[in-house]
């Protein structure tokens, strides 16, 4: 039994076609089929039912494939560990970032990271927090940047920075008369929120106080992006909460609709999170180093202020 044979059966399981799997593995179909037959003979188990189209794993084959994935993950982790121990910063790294952070943070650091570490193949995906947690546990991604804490024992969190929140008000909102906002001034019935699944929705609900049960908007809307919420607030009434990096993309006119919090400044803790199988330590450390070096100085100072409160 070899790692190559395990790689072949995993390719067939992904493609559900021997010819396509052979192309993916850069070998001929007879070579791939022969190696899989050798593995099946060694295990005395038929991994695939070849009478079906597309090809399907047998019930016993499903168990073999499950363990094959774990073996390949450990093999890749060992290879990456050896690179880290040698101080080599190279190879593929799959990074996930939450949607409320990706459009604003990625442009700040990706170009600089590529320039500093040209031998790293960085693959970036945008997922919501629940998806990221699942993918980290399954070993489908190497690391992620998101708001923490997650309270997941299998995951490791490393703090990067605190990101303050500001209130973004509609052009006719009476709170614009104030220079700063107290969290008690905020009425949940006026809030424009992200839909369920976004961590920022929970954070907004933590801050807002429901003061008028019968004062809900005539329109109920939960957005999927901060840009949508910004446009809804500008064109109607109410408010939304914006993390600091988002505010950097606002026009000068829209900046006039922002207000800081009066006393305790709410922040979210942005961390680099890795899963139980993550061994690409050198690349992870390099990513953290670059991110912390490019974020605005206001963010670097945020966590040192005594009046800061964290929301999750």
> Residue 27 belongs to what domain range?
3-84
pLDDT tens, residue by residue, 72-114 = 878 877 877 777 777 788 888 999 999 999 999 999 999 999 9
Mean pLDDT confidence for 50-58: 92
pLDDT tens, residue by residue, 143-163 = 999 999 998 999 999 999 999
Q: How confident is the model at residue 206 (pLDDT cuts 50, 70, 90)?
A: low
183/166 Cα distance (integer angstroms): 11
Verify that 53 and 125 share a domain, yes or no. Answer: no
Torsion angle (degrees, nearest 10) of CA 157, 160, 164, 170: -80
Q: Based on the structure, what is the number of domains in the chain?
A: 3
The mean pLDDT value of the chain amounts to 85
Verify that 21 and 78 share a domain, yes or no. Answer: yes
CA distances to 127, 258, 308 from 156, in Å: 18, 35, 24
Residue 302 counted as domain residue = no
Verify that 69 and 119 share a domain, yes or no. Answer: no
26/195 Cα distance (integer angstroms): 43
Nearest to 193 by CA among 225, 169, 147: 225
Verify that 186 and 261 share a domain, yes or no. Answer: yes
225/236 Cα distance (integer angstroms): 17
pTM: 0.70
Q: What is the CATH number of the domain that holds 240?
A: 3.40.190.10
165/205 Cα distance (integer angstroms): 13
pLDDT for 214? 35
- Is the pLDDT assigned to residue 213 strictly greater than 50? no
Residue 130 counted as domain residue = yes
Q: What is the CATH number of the domain that holds 57?
A: 1.10.10.10
Residue 308 counted as domain residue = no
Residue 15 counted as domain residue = yes
Number of other CB atoms surrounding residue 287 within 10 Å = 25
Domain boundary among 84, 116, 136: 84
Residue 193: helix, strand or coil by DSSP? Answer: strand
Nearest to 217 by CA among 242, 236, 204: 236
Share of the chain above pLDDT 90, in %: 57
Verify that 115 and 179 share a domain, yes or no. Answer: no
DSSP H or E stretch at residue 110: helix 102-116
Buried b (16+ CB within 10 A) or exposed e, 80-117: beebbeeeebebebbbbbbbbbbbbbbebbbeebeeeb
């Amino acid at each position: 039994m070899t790692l190559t044979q395990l790689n072949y059966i995993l390719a067939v399981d992904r493609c559900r076609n021997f010819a396509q799997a052979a192309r993916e593995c850069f070998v001929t179909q007879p070579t791939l089929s022969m190696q899989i037959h050798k593995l099946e003979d060694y295990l005395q188990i038929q991994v695939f039912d070849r009478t079906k189209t597309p090809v399907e794993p047998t019930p016993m084959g499903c168990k073999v494939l499950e363990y094959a994935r774990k073996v390949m993950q450990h093999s890749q982790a060992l290879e990456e560990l050896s690179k880290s121990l040698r101080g080599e910063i190279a190879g593929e790294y799959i990074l996930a970032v939450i949607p409320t952070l990706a459009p604003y943070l990625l442009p700040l650091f990706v170009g600089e990271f590529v320039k500093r570490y040209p031998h790293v193949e960085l693959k970036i995906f945008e997922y919501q927090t629940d998806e990221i947690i699942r993918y980290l546990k399954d070993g489908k991604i190497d690391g992620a940047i998101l708001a923490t804490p997650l309270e997941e024992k299998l995951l490791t969190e490393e703090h990067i920075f605190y990101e303050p929140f500001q209130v973004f008000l509609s052009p006719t909102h009476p709170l614009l008369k104030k220079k700063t906002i107290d969290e008690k001034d905020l009425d949940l019935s006026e809030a424009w929120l992200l839909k369920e699944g976004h961590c920022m929705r929970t954070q907004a609900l933590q801050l807002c106080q429901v003061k008028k049960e019968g004062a809900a908007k005539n329109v109920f809307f939960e957005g999927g992006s901060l840009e949508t919420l910004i446009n809804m607030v500008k064109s109607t009434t109410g408010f939304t909460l914006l993390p600091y990096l988002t505010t950097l993309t606002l026009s000068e006119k829209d900046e006039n609709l922002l207000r800081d919090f009066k006393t305790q400044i709410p922040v979210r803790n942005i961390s680099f999170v890795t899963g139980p199988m993550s061994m690409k330590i050198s690349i992870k450390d390099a990513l953290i180093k670059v991110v912390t070096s490019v974020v605005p100085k206001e963010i670097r100072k945020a966590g040192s202020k005594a009046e800061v409160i964290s929301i999750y």
